[in-house]
Structure 1
Amino acid sequence: MPGIHRLLVVLLPLLASVVAHKEPKTTQEVEVQRALQAAAYHCAPAIEQFTAARQRSWAQKVLAGRPSLPGYEELFAAGTYADSIAPAPNGDQTMMGCSPVKETRIQNNSCVLTPVVTEGPYYHKAGHPIRQNIAELEDGLLLLLDIGVIDVETCKPLPNVLVDIWQANATGHYAGHPTPAPHLVDEQPQVGGKRAGLLSAFPRTNEHETFLRGAWPTDANGVAQFTTIFPGYYTGRATHIHAKVFPAWTTHPNGTFSAERLLHTGQFFFDDAINVRVDNMHPYTENPIRHTRGRTRNWRDSLNIFEDSHGPEREYNPVFKLDFLGGVIQQGLMGYITMGINASATVDNFWKG
């Protein structure tokens, strides 16, 4: 590990010059990724214990006999379940009496600082609310997210960093971007190449919309939790959720924040087997491209974003580990993932068009 630390000390200051999807990737960029990969693998046992403990904690809360979840901002409020957590009488834990709760092996399920992937055109640098429940009035399959952040320099959870996420709704639209530009209404997706299947980004025409956007700081245990819906899909992209991590931010009177220094930009994905099931639920069945272009599978994701998220040697897994909240998928899902972050690095990856 000392060798890894030495390599990180040399390479991490170079991260400020690394730009997402620059072609071709330089030897320097690959070495930065490999150094962080080595650091993340050193942390793999700590990450596995970290995630397993979070899964046990969540299972205990569900097993405590709360048939209805608390609503909106209080969903994950501190102390919500403090008086009601109790072990199962026989020592066996079964979620909702149906689905077994297991200590899932994480298999280094971490999305490390690099590879950095593009934030895409739908991030709002100003106006993202600080909140845990980001669903607003959007209909869809309940999805609870448990996102852990570990510092790869110490292999310990990283408290008080801001995890900022945003995603498409069930029919594939982002808040603020409902329609294509007037002159591109009849645009067809690109054929062939890395941008295969993509359309030009829809412009921001609804400034007031904020659904499925929000940020929350990690707690003392390095965890940020969110309430949302399973994301929909749109032309050319695999089903995904975007994420950024900021070490410092300014809160504004309207409940939004601004931040400059960026630690990480990435995207999380879902197993295609789950995507196929959700495709057949309402309102996902109302996606306007369902019967024409359809959903892009992970392995066909445009810009190679799904592939790039696995790193140069495909050693990362940017796919959420999912548990059922009940006995059937329609009752909702709980997704776990852990990001490895180097808290002393800075990445300049704000979308530049």
Structure 2
Amino acid sequence: MVALSQLFSLSLLIVNGLAHPGESIKPDVLRRRHHLNHPERRSLAHCKRDLKESGWMSHQLAKRHARYNELREGAGYAPIAARDSDLSEDLFARQASCTLDPEVTEGPYWVSGELIRHDVRPGVKGDEQGVAVHLDINVIDVSTCQPVTNAYVELWGCNSTGVYTGVVAKGNGDGSASEIDNNSLRGIQPTAENGTASFITVVPGHYVGRTNHLHTIVHHGATELPNNTITGGTISHVGQFYFEDGILGAVEQVNPYATNTQERTPNSADFLLMMGSQGGDNPFVTVRQIGSNVADGYYGTIDVGVNPQAVQTPQAVNRWTANGGIPIPGSMWEGYPWTKKIRSLLGL
């Protein structure tokens, strides 16, 4: 029988530290604290003047306005002549994160070997239903204040009812074994000359212990393979993106989000989000509703500052292959949530 003290320790581990159900966030607290105190820490705020003088900022603002109108016309709405109030230079650098250390954990549901693709909604089991987000992620080198070209941005998140594809784990929906062979809502995109990687995904749903969020990893020096995946290179940034409560409140009222019976954690109660917002960093996606209805979807942008020379070592739980998902032997997330780490704490 497991000692009561061990069970109490486990309960503290789970209740006081939820990065995902059963996952301790203590290591991430320490990494984040080190990041904020690093003497060479730089954010995009340091680059605002350089990016403005180089013309990158004005080009981006014009590009975002044009893209927003393109999406409006595609949804059957008239274009907007004046720039949206969100498309302002004052907003820039308040919506950006920076890296010397991972912003937050990669979590237990990262699957390596994902496909290079713009629209990540399709999967082996069909297209994921949900409110679409046309997301532009702009990557800036905070050491040179220049956009990062030829990097690869990886993006993944749970579906509208809080389930991650590509993994089988207790606490991840019903733990269906078939999900390991599904790859929807996961993908990789290269950054263009302006440092932008573009995706179409859905507003992520929620699950117990976390507010709605997307995961991202930035790769440098990777090689594209004939099978439309990447290999090699280094990882400079591990982060998570969030959405304002007003957006989430509207989205969670429509199906299939409304069918999710799990308790929702608001942004104000998500400890990892609070950590990610410290030190002037802002991990929120700037979002504009495309039409008059939530179902028309959203256009979102976020500017991410990275140090391409930084090397992070996140660990995937599975790897995507032509034959579906394959567990990675020895992964720290193997057997999640009853990982080797938690079992050792229990003396099992």
TM-score by length of 1: 0.71
CA distance in 2, matches of 1:238, 1:283: 17
Name the count of aligned residue pairs.
283
Corresponding residue for residue 72 of structure 1: none
Corresponding residue for residue 15 of structure 2: none
In the superposition, relative to structure 1, how do residues 233 and 342 fare at CA in structure 2: closer, same or farther (>3 Å)? same
Q: Is the 8 A contact 2:100 2:310 kept in 1?
A: no
Corresponding residue for residue 138 of structure 2: 148
CA distance in 2, matches of 1:233, 1:65: 26
Corresponding residue for residue 14 of structure 1: none
Letter in 2 for 1:129: L
Corresponding residue for residue 176 of structure 1: 166
Corresponding residue for residue 318 of structure 1: 283
Are 1:255 and 2:260 counterparts? no
Corresponding residue for residue 109 of structure 1: 95
In the superposition, relative to structure 1, how do residues 322 and 52 fare at CA in structure 2: closer, same or farther (>3 Å)? farther
Are 1:44 and 2:31 counterparts? no
**Shift of residue 260, structure 1, vs aligned partner:** 5.1
Corresponding residue for residue 35 of structure 1: 40
Corresponding residue for residue 106 of structure 2: 119
Note the 1:209-224 alignment, pairs <5 A. Answer: 209-224=182-197
Corresponding residue for residue 332 of structure 1: 297
Letter in 2 for 1:29: H
TM-score by length of 2: 0.72
Are 1:96 and 2:79 counterparts? yes
CA distance in 2, matches of 1:260, 1:202: 33
**Shift of residue 329, structure 1, vs aligned partner:** 3.1
Q: Is the 8 A contact 2:276 2:282 kept in 1?
A: yes
In the superposition, relative to structure 1, how do residues 21 and 215 fare at CA in structure 2: closer, same or farther (>3 Å)? farther
Q: Which moved more, 1:323-332 or 1:158-167?
A: 323-332
In the superposition, relative to structure 1, how do residues 324 and 31 fare at CA in structure 2: closer, same or farther (>3 Å)? closer
Q: Is the 8 A contact 1:121 1:201 kept in 2?
A: no
CA distance in 2, matches of 1:27, 1:147: 22
Corresponding residue for residue 54 of structure 1: 60
Corresponding residue for residue 11 of structure 2: none
Q: Is the 8 A contact 2:141 2:307 kept in 1?
A: yes
Gapped regions of structure 2 (runs ≥ 5): 1-24, 317-331, 334-348
Letter in 2 for 1:134: V
Are 1:25 and 2:15 counterparts? no
Are 1:296 and 2:265 counterparts? yes
Secondary structure of the residue aligned to 2:138 is: strand
**Shift of residue 205, structure 1, vs aligned partner:** 5.2
CA distance in 1, matches of 2:173, 2:295: 33
CA distance in 1, matches of 2:173, 2:33: 31
Gapped regions of structure 1 (runs ≥ 5): 1-19, 70-93, 181-186, 188-198
Percent identity over the alignment is 27
Secondary structure of the residue aligned to 1:246 is: strand
